[in-house]
Structure formats: structure tokens, C-alpha cells
Structure 1
């Protein structure tokens, strides 16, 4: 822009300003400038005076504090040097607790000193002073006191008078901070500030290492305690620091050493007492000053020279100064003074306030006068201006009320007439716009609700509208500056499956601008690494003259449709192939299954045993030819029927075995059952059938007719009995007959011929022994049937009754369950086992009580004999010989029974025999 243009712009500026501003602002600027300059000069002069006075006062205070610190600290080091000389010369003997009068005198001479002491390398300590505000006392901790501290009161000459207190634990000076600090420094030094027990007041110790003059070996350390923090705090309070100013001394760590505020320098109680940080002070000025120092310098160690600064607390300016203090012996503290500026301003501020008040009053009066004059001049003009603006903003009901007859009054009347006509026209236009807006809103809501992308362009191809779904598919908003020929490039539209941009002339939207309605499915939009297949429709919109004024393109993502089409095609091909393969395999399998089934049926029908399958509902699902013969029915009459319907009365006999098979157990048993084809001795096995979930879904049964075998066994037993009868007749009967004959002969000659009688008796003895031997041989060769007079239960009852008559032992017999018959061989062996167990309990175990129990249940028969006799170790039972326990074991094994023998010496014996019921008759 040229200089002339700038000049013209500036010259035209007054024409652009409001009339009221043109009238008021120039005068107000002149008045305000005058008042501001006067007030500023007054303020600057007052502030300069305040800074000078504040600096002088702070410097004076710092010098006083430094003098006080130097005086207090030098006394402690002077005392240490005197005591070190006395200790090296032997005037002070710590081990013998001699020399404490020196300490007493020094405490009296130096009032700032609190406590004086010396400790040697062996752990002895000697000292004197004031502890906790008490009178003078001495402190002794040596080998003679087992290093436990003793405290004594001192008289006016420094002599001990009485024991005041005794410590509870040994005291080792070599581990104390004052001792270690002196040894580490090798020269006079200060300890850290610590809390004195039991008052927990802060104190500091000056310490000095003492060396042997000849060997230069360490003798010990002399130290002097002073309550410097407390003394300095009292001194700081005595200084005049303005009206509300404060002084505090702190370490480089930020912990308070002394303060002019009435507050403790520690926090907590007793053993939990801790020193207070300046930033934790209860005094808000000290706390804020410490925080300002931390914010300005970060690390307090960076403060090496005196620094002045100011800050605000609640809009009150504070003038502060920080000065480092070092004494040459290790003290490195910061002296901080802070004085509110208000303490110095006084009359200066009062004068400034009066001046400013007068200026402000004059300024306000001038401003009010200017405003009133300008308002009278500009009010009609502003009223017309506001009404015109309101009409321009659409507020048509404007009426200007100006009660004047000059030019402004005429202008107001003309304005009111124009406003009335505009209001009428606007009302009609507003009605039309509302109707149009409602229609447009409904149309836009409809387009946004459509789940496909919608894009509208005008006749020139410039984008007019795109719904949100369209923006999502395009991956970006519509740029109205993009020409139609660049649509493919800008919006990443490609021919599907290629890297070729979609031809502009084929786009449905472009073709719609030519008046064509088209649909395509070969478009593809790319977003990042994704390719979105698109189906698009183009529709032209015509005006009344048939000219295209808009074109609408609808487009949608057909990814899922393409995937579904591909999956469907792949699935159809795969399914067709699988159908062909599985059909062939199924036919082959059906043929093989039918062949195998036919072979199995033929095989099952050829077997002379009954084979069947029963489901979990107790219904027959398969029977072979032998079953049909046994039941005297056809297969169709058996298949689907219940077991109980086909078996009749026999079902109750074998029901327990069926239940066990359906419970998942493989069962074998022998029984005599009635079949329509006649009674049969059978041997059966039931095998459970499980499904994939290990649940029983039925069982297979195989039943064999063993009637011929049973008849053969009975014939064999009968033949054996006949043989034994003959043998007994030929042996035992002959022996007993011979015995009778010889007995008669002996009777006849007994009185006449003693020798002949003796001969007959010897023959009788020989015949008896021969008969007994034959009887034993018969027993060993064959164990005969001994249950001819009843079943097992009654036989055991008779056995117990017989035993009661010949013994004092208490015999108890008990039968449990419903009694049923077992095969004779089983009952005979159970009886013999019970007889043997009962005999052993009475004869060998010397039992006081023997209990015999016979129990029957659905699956087992159990014989139990228990006594309270001597018992024995089961492991010591002999393995052979006799008919005792070995005979029991043989009998149990012979009938397939389970024999359990439990016994302990002194605790009796229990014999249990369990046999399956499968062998019942």
C-alpha cells in the first residue's frame, strides 16, 4: 500500500467513528492523560523512597545478626581449645572423672554455653553444664559406671553433692554426630543441629579433636553445646523489623535455625519430634518467603551472595533480602529478612491516595459532563441507527419515537412508514421460508437415514450435498473445488480389480448430468489398504423445461454380497464334489454293512447259544434264532417287547443281574430257569454298551444251555457217592464188624482166659485204627454233602446249638436278609468254613464271646464269624498243613468266594466269606 493510501485511510478514519465517540473520546483522552501522568510520578517517587529506606534497614539488621552469631559461636570454640589443652596435658582425666570443675567455671564465664563435655576413644565421657533449664550438674559415663550415664548436682564451687539421675542404657560417644564430625574434619567444626533429650529443644555442638602431642594419636573429642537456635530466636524477636516484618535463619537444607515469629521450630512430640522446614512454617510470611526462595533459586546452595527481591502476598508487596553467613568452622546458613512495603509507605501512600482521589474525581466529573452533552446531541441519531440495524437484522416491528419537529423528526416519521411496509413483506416471506425449510429438513433426514451413499451435484458438476454414509464410503468429505474430470483421482475410484482410475465418462453421476439413468457394479473405492467394491446408480433431475439441473448418484458397499457370492459358488462346487464322493462311499459302505450284517446274523443264528441285545428301557432290540426257539416265539414277537413280558416268572430271578449290567458292570452267573421250551441250567454273561458320553444305553447278553453239563455233574456225584458207599462198606463196615466180633470173643473169654482176652483187645485196637485211617482217607479224598436235613441257615443254627451245649463261651447267631438257596457244594463249604472258625475261636482263641452272622442280599451271601479272643498276626499264619486256616482258604477258592481274615494279637479275630449269588438254584 502506498503512502498516499495510508494518508487517505487515516484522513477517512474520523468518518468511520461513531458520533458519540467523536464527541467524548478526544476530551476524555486529554483529561485522562493529565491525571495519569500526575499519579504515575507520585507513585514512582514514593516507591523509590520506600526501596531506599527498606534496603538501609535490612542491611542494618543483617549486620546485627552476623555480629550476634559471631559472638555466640566463637565462645564455644574458645572453650573447646582450652579443654583440649587441659586434656592433652592431663589436667582433665576422663577415665577417672577428674576435671569437671574446669567445665563448671567455663559455663559460669560464658553465659551462651549450655553444656561442656569431653569423650575419649575408649568410650568414657565427662561433662558439666545446664540440661533442660536445670541448675548446674555434671555428667559421668566411664568404665567404672559400665558406661551408663550418671548425673550429679554441683554446689557453688563445682563439687558434686548428690546423684540426680542414672541412665538406662550405655552411652557410646564415639558414634555421636559431634564426635564423628570432629574426627572426620580433623579440626574445629560444628555438628548438625540436633534435638536434646529429654526436652527435644534444638541445639548445636562445637567439637574439636584432641591428639597426643608426641604420637599424634587421637585421645578424644571435646565439645560444647549451645542452644543457639533458641538464643538467636530471642535475639531476632528483639530487633525492630518494621511493623509486621520478620527475620529467620535457615540451613541450606531449608530447615529453620531461628525465627522472629512466635512459633516452635519443631513439630511432633517426644521421640517423634522433627525439625521444621521454613516452607512448613505456620507464619504465612515466612512460609511464602521460603517458597519464593525455592522458586527463584531452586537449590539453596546456589545462593552465594546477598540477594534482594520482592513478591506479593494477597496483593501486598513484600521486600525481602537473603544473605549467606559462614563462620569458618562449618556453619553455612542463610539470613532472610522480609518487610511488607506497607510498613514504609505510611504518609507517602496517604499523599498518593489523596492526589489520585482528586484526579479521579475531576476525571469522573468531566466524563459525566461530556457524556450528557454528547447524549443530547446523539440520542435521536443513535435511535434511528439502532432501528435501522434491527430492521437489517430481521426485526421488522421497529418504531422510532422522537418528539422533535426538526429534520430529525421528519426523518423518524419517514423511517416508521418504511419499517411498516417492510414488516408486512417480511411476514409473507417468512411464511414461505418456513415451509421451504421444513421440506428441506425432512428431505435431509430422509437422505441421512438411507443406508447407502447419496451424492448430489449441480448442472456444472460441483458437489451440492453428500450424506454421512457417502462420506464414510469415500473416506473423506466433498471438496466443491474438484472438477468432475478429477473425481476418480481425488476420491480414489478405480475399475474393480485393476489399478486403472475409473473413466469419467462411465461414471453414473457424470452420465446422469447428460440425462442418462445408469447402474454399474464395476467400481472400486480405495481407503488406505482396503478396497471397497461399489454398486452405483445415476439419476438426473430435470426442471420444467427438461433441462438437467441436478444429478444424484446413489452408491453402496457390496463387499459382503461379493464375498457371499464367492462363498456360495465355492460352496456349491465343494458340495457337489462331496455329494458325489460321499454318495459313492455311502453306497459302498451300505453294501459292506449289509454284507457284514447278513454274515453276523447267519453266524449268530448258527451258534447254539442265545444271543440278544436289550436297550436301557429293558426292551429287546435283537435276538438270534436260538432265542426264538428257547422262548418258542418268532423274532418279530420278541423284538420291542420288555424283558418281563418275555421271561415271565424267571425275570424276578435275574432282575438283579440286569440292573447291575445297566449300571455299567459286566455280569456272569449260573442259574436254573424255566423257558417255554423247558427248564434249563444256563450260564450267562451280560456286557454293558456305552454311548459317546459314557452313559449305558443297553447291554449284550450271551446265554449258554449247560443242562447237559449239570446232569453229567449230578451223575458223577451220584457215582462217587455209590463208590464211597461201597468203599465204606468194604473198609469201615468190615472194620467195625471185625471189632464187634472180636469184642464178643473177648467178652466170652474175659473171665476164663486173660491172655485170649488180651489178644482179642489187641485185634480190636488194630481194627479200630485201621477204620480210623480209612475214615481219614475218605475225608481227605472227598468232602461229603453234610446238608441233608435243611439249608445253610438251619445247618449253622444246629451247629451253634450243639456248640453251646459243650462250652461256656457266649455264642450269638444272627441271620440278615431274605434266605435263598445256594448250590449244595457252596453251602457245604460255607458250613465247613463256619464250623472251623467257630471251633478255632472256642478251642484255641479262648474267646468269651463269638458272633456268627449270615447275611443275604440281592447280589451276595456273606458269612461272618467274629470273636474277642487272643487273636494272632495274620502274617504269621502257616502256609500248609492241617485243615485249619489253609482249609478255609482252599474251600473259599474252590467255590469262587472272597475270604478276608482280620486279626491282631489281643484284639480278637474276624473271618468274612463273601460269595456271589450267581450260583443260586
Structure 2
């Protein structure tokens, strides 16, 4: 419908519709805001209740977990297993004191009879049969820990639940041990939480057990009652381990439930909130919003009536006129007289009308150009086919500029010259014969590319730079041209050229329009280039992740640190172009690094690095540790002056070297290094991969060390067991010896035969106890090995030997110390200890040297002194015993002695050598296979 045909009424309805389109979104926004705010308030209420439920569940679950751990621990106590009331009283009393929520600890026999409970007063149920209890039956049947249902304890007459653990004796069920938890304290806590809230925010807090029974409630009257029937949605959800919220009606009230589970006992916490209280603020907000909308609506109506005739109607008229200017549809254009009455107004409406009239023509001219550019932009953005985009651009250029010929020139990398990539209206002869080489640098296309500015030639016959190309140009029939350079970071030098058949000077508007098309062409070429680069980078990233995954899989195949490091070295050589690789490690409690493993290093350099100890501030390796960042050196020999003492730079074959810290949990455990003899350098991606591999190795090393600690902890547990065994066996043996000796003393005067019999029995007991002592001593791990490594422990022993004897002592460590099994470490430590004890007692030496050598397949312990030697020592001991009349074997002098050393070496499957060096003294050499 045209403007002339529209009636006044229709115009008012249209304006009203436009106005309603303005007011309507405000109301819609208000309703949307109400919806969002309502949901937010609901979520806040629910989140607050759920947070409270989580906090209560976390605290209660912690108490249950401690009760479970206590029951499991009590079930393993010898006093509980042996059912000794006196010892159980001591153990139970300590537990009751430590846990205020525990009101009873007890032991039931295998038939369910109360054997003992603590405290034993005021009431006692000892002797009562509790085999009918569900928890007793469950513990006996499953053999696992269980929690009972809530009940009133007959012993304490208090509401309790019980943490129950079956007791096994000699592999057979022998009853249970129970820990009663006071439920009244939980209820009192929930009551306090509920009472602290305002009256308008009152809630019910409920804790239910796995059977749906209320274990604790903010209303004490509901303690130990059923929460609901088994079909309750909330109960079923929380006992299924789910967390969430639910709305339901009960007791004539709509309730908001929030619930969360407690996994230790399969309990749940439920927070119940009446919706009339929970959403009271939401209702007030709803009322306030309604009032605000009513006020705003009334004001909007008044505003529309006041300004429609003065402002809205003229604006609508100007808007329609402006739309007609922007549309090139036949039959909708308005003649200028339509808004001329408005242009006579002195206010802003009049000024706007006059401006529209002045700019109408320019707008219509630009509209066609912008539409064309928009179509071109759509083609550029929707396709990665460069040829398709360029052809579309050339078609639009020819149509918009109303020209016959145009072309896109781009540099050919092979021939280093500009060539026509695509063209319109140019003959094949022109395209093939056009050669723009270094000899034609003055050609307009080269000038535009070199300056980055458009270049135009209004008449080619008057331009000297066109002399060589003039015959070709005249054959094509063009007389003038415009060249626009294509500027993009990743695009080769290129230019867009527009040809005209007549002499023509391109206006600034035409140049700008051509530049827009050139920019579109540059974007298309840039997209194609970046797409190829992105694809290459993606392939590189895939290779990076594949390599890192391979390394991670390799180092995770073993918990032995030697296997981990060797596997890591293999992986580095597989995924990176290197000629050598090495790993330095820093042991715990040491402030220096040693070379742990290497591949590809020259023999001489490897020997130098193995003998080197890296202390703070020394060389390239410590530089990496100190900075915590990877380090890349090209032409590494140039950096020799920076670290003159570093063996790495004594070898001049390296062309590139990189090192990365082994980082795990913010701690640096060592350094991973690689080197190449080629002239290539390591890329940034390869250095990043090296750091990632280093992190994988660091994690594997930490895991291996943790595994070793766990094994040492197991040995420590065995040592404690052996200590108890010594107490139980040797103490009894020595008691028997004492009794027999006392009997022999009494009978020595009256009955000689019986006295001799008692002495024989005492001797036999002594021999038996001695054998038992030897067996136990061999199996004990020295406590010093619990906190120190083997080499540190032996070094400490040598230092103690020097201080105690005043002799000259020296400890030498060769090779990188590796972890040995606990038995081997304790035997080597005891051998060194026994050897130094013998030296102190018998060798008459002034100097001792102890060497611990770690080799790839063996460990060697050597103790050398400059004393009198084994033979003279043995002769002196035999002479001393002959003088004393002793009948003991000389080899047993000094405790275990040399016999003990042989026995320990035999247990390890190793070899021991006792030699006399040429310069005197004694050498004990022990060789053990790893």
C-alpha cells in the first residue's frame, strides 16, 4: 500500500503498534526478570538448605567413619580377640575418653552373649544374649563391618546406633565388637541449629538411617520413628545415594525437601522447609512488580497521547521516507514533496527532514555499492574455495564499475614474478604474454605493491613505464587502469587491477570502492593460507600428544625406578630427534644431584658426568633446577665460558642442547637433558614436549619412591612383630634358665645328680634361646634405615665409629645409590656394623675405610683396616681362651662375628671374601646381586 492510500486512522494504528512494540518488550522484560528472579530466589533457598544438609552430612559422616575405623581397629586388638576383660577395659577406656559421642563399647561372644562392656556401670548386661540383634546376624553372615539400626540401648537406656565389626580368631568367627554412638547428641545439635534460625525461616532437619528410621531430628519427639513408608520419593532417593530437592504436600502443608546422602553408613540428611515461609520474599517481590508495571503502563499511555501528534507522527513519516531511500523497489519511492512541510519546521524534525532531502541522492548511489560489497562479503565468509571467491569478486567489480576488463595479479614463488591469477575480459594471449619481472619494476602493479598505496594511470599512452607493454595494452583495447595492492600478513604480494576503455581519472570514491574489493580478495587469500597453516599445526599437535601419551604409558609400566628411567629414555629416543639423553636425580634429604642414567653420551664424557656431583650454583644442570624452566642452547660450545667446569661443554660435538626440570607437585626431583650433533635446533614445540616428558618422568619417580616407602613401612611393621616375638620367646627361655640355675644352686649340696640335671636343662634352654635370638636378630631391620638410605646409614655408622674409637675412618660411595629390598639393606648395614665392632675389639687398627659401590648388576660392600690381620687376631683370641680355660669355639667370639657375616651373605645369595692385603690388615668384601 502506498503512502497516498493510507488513511489517517491507519497511520495512528501503525504508530500505536510501533509504540506497543516499544512498551511490550519492557513488560516482557519485567515478566522475564520476575521469572528469573523467582527461580534465583528458589535456587538460593534450595541451595541454602542443601548446603546445610551437606554440612551436617559431612560432619555426621566423619563421625560415622571414625566409629567404623574404631570398630575395625578394636577387632584387631589382641585383647579383644583373646577376650581378656582387663586388657579390654584398658583399650575401651582410652577410646571412650577420646570420643565424647561414644557411650558404650562392648564385646559379644560368637553366640551373641555379652562378654564385657565399658563402662561397666551403672547398669550391666553381661551374660545377656543379643544374638537376635540384626547387626549381630549381619556381621556374622557378611563378615564385614555393619551399622545397626537406631534403638534404645538396654545397657545405657539411651538412644544409640552401633558400629559393629566381627572378630575372628584363628580364622573363625568369634563374636563381635561394638561401639555405641550417642544419638541424643545429634538430635540436640539439630535442635540448636533449628532454634538459631528466625521464626520465619524455621526448618525441620532429619537424619535417617538405611532402614528409613529417624536417627536424629530437630524435633526430639520424633527420634527413632519411621520417616515415611518405603514408597516415599525423598527417602528412596537419599538412600539410593542421590542428592537434590523435591516438593511434596504432607500434613496439610507444601514442603520443600533438600536431601544429601552419607556414604559411610548409607544414611541421609533431609532438610524440610514450608514453601509458604521459604518463598515469602518471592510473594512480596511479585506484588511490588505488579504495582510497578501498573504505574509504568499508565504513564506509557499518557506519554503516547502527549507526544504522538507532535513527535511520533512526523518521525513515522520521516522513517517511511528514509526506508524508501534505502530500497530500490519500484513503486515505493516517495517524492520529495512528502516531507517538505516537515522541512519548514525550525526544530530538530525540520533539520532532519532537510538533511534527508540533501542526502537522498548520495544514499541511493551508495546503496548499490554496499549491496554488492555485502554479497561479496557473504561469498568470502562462506567459502574456503579461493578460486570461487576471486571469480565472484571480479564479476562484481566488472558489474559495479561498469567495466569490461579486470584482473588479479599475484606473485609466482617459482619464477619470482607477478602473474595473472584470474581475469575478466582479457584475452588468453595477453594473460600468457604478460611478464612482470625485475626489469619491469616500474610497472604500476609493482609500484602499488611496494608503496602499499593505490596507483592509477589515466592514460597509458602518456605513462613512460608502459612503453614495453603498450602494444599488448592497445591490443586489448584499454586506455586507463587502477591498481590496488592486496595487503595481508600471510599473503604473497598481489594487486587488483581495473581497466577502462577510455581515458579516465578514478575518483576518491571509486578508489575506496576498489580498495574494499581488494581487501575482500586479500581476506580470501589469507583464509586459504591460514587454513593450510592451521592444518599443519593441528597435525603437529596430534604428533605431540601421541608422543606424550606414548611416554606416559611407557613410564607407567613399572614402579621400579630403574625400569621407569630406562623406559623413559627409550621413549625419548623414539619421539624426539636426539643423539644423547641423560637424567640427573636428587635424592630426598640431599642437596645435590647425580647422573642417574644416560644414553648416547661419549664414553669419556659419561665417565666425567658419573663422577660429578652437582651442588647449588654448579653448571647448566643446577641452572635448570634453580630457574624451574626449560633451557635451550644452540651452538652449545659458545656458552662454555658461562659454565667453565661443566663436563657437558668439554665435548665440542654438540650443536644443540636442551634441558628441562623434572617437576612434580611444585617439587623438582631432577633434570632431563637431550643433545644433538646435527646443525638443526630444537623447536619450541619440541622443548615443550621435553618439559611434558620430564613432568611424566617426575611423577613416575615420585610414585616409585612412594612405592618403596610403602614397602619399607611393611618391613617396619614386620620388625615390630618380630620384637613382640622376641619378647614372647626369649623372655620365657631366660625365665626357665633362671629357674633351673636357682634349682641347681639349692641342690648342689644335697643332691649333686639333680643339680647336674638342672644345669643341663639350663644349658639346653640357653642354646635354644640363643638360636631364637639369632633368628630374630637376622630378621630385624635397624631403625636407622627407617629414616635414612643405606649409604647415609653406613656413613653415619662410620662417623659414630670415629667418634667412639678415635680411629681414622672414611666412607666412600661409588655409583648412583639405588633402592634395594629391605632385607638386603638391613643385612648390609648389619655386616658393616659387625665388621667395625670386630675391628674395634680385635684388629688393633688405626685406620678404617668402608666403601659402598653401586654397579649396574651388583652392590659391593668393602671394609678395610690396617690392623694385625685375621690370623694374628685368631691366635691371640685362642691364647686368651686357653689361659681362661674356656671351651667355646673361637669363631663365636664377639657375638655373631665372622660366622654371622657369612650367614647374612648366604641369606642374600651373595659372596664374601676375607683377605689380608699386602700392606697388612684385613679386607672384608661382600658382593650381592641386585
How would you bin the TM-score normalised by the shorter chain?
Answer: under 0.3
TM value normalised by structure 2: 0.27
TM value normalised by structure 1: 0.27
Tell me which protein shows more strand as a share of its residues.
1
Tell me which protein shows more helix as a share of its residues.
2
